[in-house]
Amino acid sequence: MQELEFDIDLEKSLGPWIGKTTKIVDYYLHEAFQQHGLDVSKEQMIVLKKLHHHDGLNQNELAHLTWRDKSSLARLLAKMERKGYIFRRQHEADRRVNLVHLTESGRQVFRNTRPIIQKAIDILEKDISKSEIKRMIEILKRIQDNFTSEIASQ
């Protein structure tokens, strides 16, 4: 059977540019958190943020909001629990459901990440106009919609 050859110019595709940008931002945040003595990952910070706004979410809701599968979220939450950032409590009406809550330590870590996140945003948006930022957000939302529609149709 003859194999078809595809000539793909990745440099002209959005995927590698989005991926590389994400890796650079992730690296910056990791280093900045460490420099400020914060024992938190970007993934943990996202969970802290979600719980800061909606404390007591159940694990399924949290998995959905953070785009994580249930088992990887459970591992992440176990690590955060060991660090004292969160605690889990069974739902009173449905013992199969775990509600996730922030501890005071978790709230403090989240507060301490805020200036670091703001600095990252400032660097990210440096020399980019408000209209360019707005347009980029619109484009990224369309890309996300493209993929979520494709995933939903499978």
Please report whether residue 134 resides in a domain: no
**Are 126 and 120 within 8 A, CB to CB?**
no
Dist CA 42 CA 45 (whole Å): 5
The per-residue pLDDT for range 32-55, each reduced to its tens digit, is: 999 999 999 999 999 999 999 999
Residue 35, domain member (yes or no) = yes
| pTM score, whole prediction | 0.83
For residue 122, being part of any structural domain is answered with yes
Residue 90, beta-bridge partner list: 98
Distance from C-alpha of 76 to C-alpha of 41, rounded to nearest angstrom: 10
Q: What is the pLDDT of residue 114?
A: 95
What is the extent of the structural domain holding 109? 15-127
Counting the structural domains of the chain, the total is 1
Q: pLDDT tens across 17-33, in order?
A: 999 999 999 999 999 99
Residue 133 lies in a domain: no
Q: Is residue 138 one of the residues assigned to a domain? A: no
Task: Write the CATH number for 83.
Answer: 1.10.10.10
Joined together, the tokens standing for residue 42 give: 């970007």
